[in-house]
Amino acid sequence: MSEIEEKHFIKKYGEISEDLIMFLLFIRSKFKNFDSAIVFLSIWNSCKGAIIEGVVESDDMSNKSVSKNIQKKLNEIGRIGTNVMGISRETNIPRTTVARIVVDFKKANLVKRHKGNLVVAENLREFNENTRKYLDKFFMCIKEKYK
Q: Quick check: 141 and 19 in contact, CB under 8 A?
A: yes
Q: pLDDT digit string (tens) for 29-40?
A: 999 899 999 999
Identify which has the larger pLDDT, 146 or 118.
118
Q: In the predicted model, what is the mean pLDDT of the chain?
A: 91
| Average pLDDT value for residue range 11-15 | 86
CA–CA separation, 116 and 97 (whole Å) = 20
Q: Is the pTM of this model over 0.85?
A: yes
Per-position DSSP letters for 44-63, written without gaps between them: HHHTHHHHHHHHHT-SS-SH
Give the number of C-alpha atoms closer than 13 A to the C-alpha of residue 76, restricted to the C-beta side: 11
State what percent of residues in the chain have pLDDT above 90. 62
**Which domains, ranges and CATH numbers included, belong to the chain?**
3-145 (1.10.10)
| Average pLDDT value for residue range 108-124 | 93
